[in-house]
Amino acid sequence: MSVEQAPVQRADFDQVMVPNYSPAAFIPVRGEGSRVWDQSGRELIDFAGGIAVNALGHCHPALVKALTEQANTLWHVSNVFTNEPALRLAHKLVDATFAERAFFCNSGAEANEAAFKLARRVAHDRFGPEKHEIIATVNSFHGRTLFTVSVGGQPKYSDGFGPKITGISHVPYNDLEALKAQISDKTCAVVIEPIQGESGVVPADKAYLEGARKLCDEHNALLIFDEVQTGVGRTGSLYAYQHYGVTPDILTSAKSLGGGFPIGAMLTTTDLAKHLAVGTHGTTYGGNPLACAVACAVLDVVNTPETLAGIKAKHERFKARLEKIGQQSGLFTQVRGVGLLIGCVLADAWKGKAKDILNAAEKEGVMVLQAGPDVVRFAPSLVVEDADIDEGLARFERAAAKLTQS
Ligand SMILES: *Cc1c(COP(=O)(O)O)cnc(C)c1O
């Protein structure tokens, strides 16, 4: 039995929603693979992937199956009880990474909140209250809670909400000397995105991450990798730390982990995990059976040699065509990134205009993202079909041509 729903339009957003977002003019209503349809039945190719979330595109059969089976079985019990999907997911993550322990939550910000609290707790227990300083990087993004905007290196997200969390400093990204100058025995943690996602798709240098690892060890500080955007196959390795060969003490994951169902995870070692003893931290929904059942299905598809190799091949397909589009149109000067997290760096004449390019792309029927005002970002499904890549980039090429010829 279907219940008649009241019709809604984009204009309703401005009437009934808090105005903290500025969504596109159309409303997506259905998706399949890398294609999305809007209210008018118009079809678009999705290279935005819900901001690096829809790792297997829309309505992947394995995820629909996992979600509906779990929906008919058990939705939620709270953490007063554990549940089978959570334990299975933890086993999969522990088996596939450096980690020995998992903590589940509902978003990237919450995963980072847990990571930062754990780092401070470890230092407090082992060395006392003096050792609480966190070093993060300029332009980094770690989420929107007060702790995570305070650690994030973009004051526009943290200013204007009263006193910030203190004991946090920011050093330039990929600058080992700056980190070396800032780190001390008061440092409890250094937090790095292996690829800065939101602020322009900037990959770390291998030597930078290796140097950060060494400095942390010298100062008894923990190395935290925020892999909320880079994790779960995005780079062609399950996690980007594996691509770089530098192992953190704490890793955070979210976005692609649920393939569109909200879930976050903090991964760490047994030795560190024990500092979050009973009662020290928690969440009502975290590790919910629905979310964990879907995440298990995501990992089963993504963490295979075929899928991971496919991501590297698709990277080359995107990069070659995008470089050509950049040269022909003069729109961008560089295509950077790893795996299926790709950034096109706008030429000087187009600096600040990433949003205009998104809008032009949408008019041609392809959804892309920006990463700051100067970079157009692609974060498509990790299993996007080659035919969809070709068709989507043909549409993007038309958008670029129209923009630069007018
Ligand atoms: C998206 C993102 C976050 C925040 O995740 P939410 O699920 O929006 O809270 C944190 N860190 C990085 C690197 C991200 O890309």
Interval 247-263: pLDDT, tens? 999 999 999 999 999 99
Together in a domain, 288 and 314: no
Together in a domain, 138 and 250: yes
Together in a domain, 373 and 387: yes
Using the mean position of ligand 1's atoms as its centre, give its distance from the Cα of residue 71 in Å.
Answer: 26
Together in a domain, 111 and 229: yes
The per-residue pLDDT for 324 is 97
Judge if the beta carbon of residue 193 lies within 6 A of ligand 1. Answer: yes
Both tokens assigned to 30: 């259905």
Active site residue 214: no
Residue 242 belongs to a domain? yes
- pTM of the entire structure? 0.98
The per-residue pLDDT for 3 is 72
Judge if the beta carbon of residue 142 lies within 6 A of ligand 1. Answer: yes
Query: Which of 277, 302, 327 is the last residue before a domain boundary?
Result: 302
Angle at 240 between CA 238 and CA 245, to 5 degrees: 105
Residue 222 belongs to a domain? yes
Residue 65 belongs to a domain? no
Instruction: Kindly state the average pLDDT of the residues 115-135.
Output: 98
Judge if the beta carbon of residue 116 lies within 6 A of ligand 1. Answer: no
pLDDT in tens, 76-111: 999 999 999 999 999 999 999 999 999 999 999 999
Both tokens assigned to 4: 């008649």
pLDDT in tens, 129-183: 999 999 999 999 999 999 999 999 999 999 999 999 999 999 999 999 999 999 9
Together in a domain, 32 and 94: no
Number of domains making up the chain: 2
Instruction: Kindly state the average pLDDT of the residues 9-28.
Output: 97
CA distance to 67, 76, 112, per residue, from 79 (Å): 20, 9, 19
Q: What average pLDDT does the structure give for the chain?
A: 97
Q: Which domain holds residue 286?
A: 74-302
Asked if residue 338 lies in contact with residue 316, where contact means CB atoms within 8 angstroms, the answer is: no
pLDDT-derived band at 4, boundaries 50, 70, 90: confident
Residue 169 belongs to a domain? yes
pLDDT over 70 percentage in the chain: 99
Together in a domain, 263 and 335: no
Q: State the CATH number of the domain containing residue 266.
A: 3.40.640.10
Among 104, 131, 226, 374, the one annotated catalytic: 226
Together in a domain, 262 and 313: no
Residue 185 belongs to a domain? yes
Residue 1 has pLDDT above 60, yes or no: no
Instruction: Kindly state the average pLDDT of the residues 228-257.
Output: 98
Residue 5 belongs to a domain? no
Together in a domain, 324 and 354: yes
Active site residue 255: yes
Together in a domain, 178 and 251: yes
pLDDT in tens, 49-63: 999 999 999 999 999
The residues with which 345 forms a beta bridge, in sequence order, are 334, 375
Active site residue 324: no
Using the mean position of ligand 1's atoms as its centre, give its distance from the Cα of residue 390 in Å.
Answer: 29
Amino acid at 18: V
Angle at 259 between CA 254 and CA 262, to 5 degrees: 55
E strands, 217-361, where?
222-226, 250-253, 264-268, 332-338, 341-346
Judge if the beta carbon of residue 350 lies within 6 A of ligand 1. Answer: no
Residue 67 belongs to a domain? no
Together in a domain, 131 and 253: yes
pLDDT-derived band at 406, boundaries 50, 70, 90: low
Name the residue among 245, 247, 258 with its Cα closest to residue 292: 258
Q: State the CATH number of the domain containing residue 375.
A: 3.90.1150.10
Together in a domain, 226 and 331: no
pLDDT in tens, 264-308: 999 999 999 999 999 999 999 999 999 999 999 999 999 999 999
Query: Which of 254, 277, 302 is the last residue before a domain boundary?
Result: 302
Query: Which of 286, 302, 318 is the last residue before a domain boundary?
Result: 302
Judge if the beta carbon of residue 197 lies within 6 A of ligand 1. Answer: yes
Using the mean position of ligand 1's atoms as its centre, give its distance from the Cα of residue 115 in Å.
Answer: 13
Asked if residue 44 lies in contact with residue 362, where contact means CB atoms within 8 angstroms, the answer is: yes
Give the dihedral of Cα atoms 45, 47, 52, 54; nearest 10 deg.
Answer: 20
- 3-state secondary structure string across 71-109: HCCCCCCCCCCCCHHHHHHHHHHHHHCCCCEEEEECCHH
Together in a domain, 271 and 188: yes
CA neighbours closer than 13 Å in the CB half-sphere of residue 77: 14
Using the mean position of ligand 1's atoms as its centre, give its distance from the Cα of residue 276 in Å.
Answer: 22
Q: How many CB atoms lie within 10 A of CB 5?
A: 6
Residue 3 belongs to a domain? no
